[in-house]
Amino acid sequence: MVKFREGEEIVGAPDVQVIEMARTSGSSRTYTADIPVAGAGAMTPRDGKYDLSILVGDHRMPKGLQQNLGTVPFVFHQAAKEALSKSGIPESSDTHVVTKLAGRYLPLPLIAHTFKPPQKTPPMAITAVFVALTTVIPLLAFLRGLGLLKVNTKLWKIDLHGMVFFGTLAAYLAVLGMFFLFLNLVQTMALCLLLLPVAVISGNKVLCQSRAHRLGGATN
């Protein structure tokens, strides 16, 4: 490979240029390198001194071997410069193309990972007021309505099944309140599904006991 040392600066031209070597047919120890200085792109028309070195590497070698051979001056003729300019090195007056070519040798931009921003929630005070308006106040109004309608609550036996049933209803209201405060929809549905069979079974027991009590009172 050749490494630019000093001389004419060209925008977009790399400092190090690697020239691949090929094994000579019929020989296992002879390698040749063709430098197409008037061809398409192995060299750039950059006059100056270059450090010439041999780099030997293989996929089975943990580290390549590099041997410096010395410094060689490169002077490109005008014909070679024109040929290489046509193959990719623009004129310095073409600012747009020169800038685009120089960008190939600039570091790539850092990858910025974008994560989902946290969901915005209202202040706790507003949430508490909303919970009170949607759960507590309607519950109190419902209980007050039962009193105004003079509902016969004597048939509601507060035994084990009754305590479980009304406790489950209270737990439902608590889950709904926690949903507005800090639970998400999946957690709320999971808790409601856990309370559902308990409410159904205990409520059925309470209704059966009330029916049996009414039938027994009517018989007597």
In the 8-state DSSP scheme, what is residue 52?
E
Count of C-beta atoms within a 10 Å radius of residue 202 = 20
* Model pLDDT, residue 40: 43
Q: What is the pTM of this model?
A: 0.36
Residue 32 CB contacts under 8 Å (≥ 6 apart), including other chains: 21, 22, 24
* Model pLDDT, residue 10: 52
Residue 211 CB contacts under 8 Å (≥ 6 apart), including other chains: none
Smallest Cα–Cα separation from 5: which of 41, 46, 35, 44? 46
Domain ranges of the chain: 2-105, 124-219
Residues of the chain predicted below pLDDT 70? 1-21, 27-29, 31, 33-45, 76, 79-106, 151-157, 216-220
With b for 16 or more beta-carbon neighbours within 10 A and e for fewer, the 93-114 pattern comes to: eeeebbeebeeeeeeeeeeeee
Amino acid at 193: L
Q: Give bridge partners of residue 68 from the DSSP assignment.
A: 53
Amino acid at 11: V
pLDDT single digits (tens) 137-187: 777 887 787 777 776 666 666 778 878 888 888 888 888 878 877 888 888
Count of C-beta atoms within a 10 Å radius of residue 56 = 11
* Model pLDDT, residue 39: 46
- Residue for token pair 């089975």: 60
Crossing angle of helices 160-181 and 185-219, rounded to 10°? 150
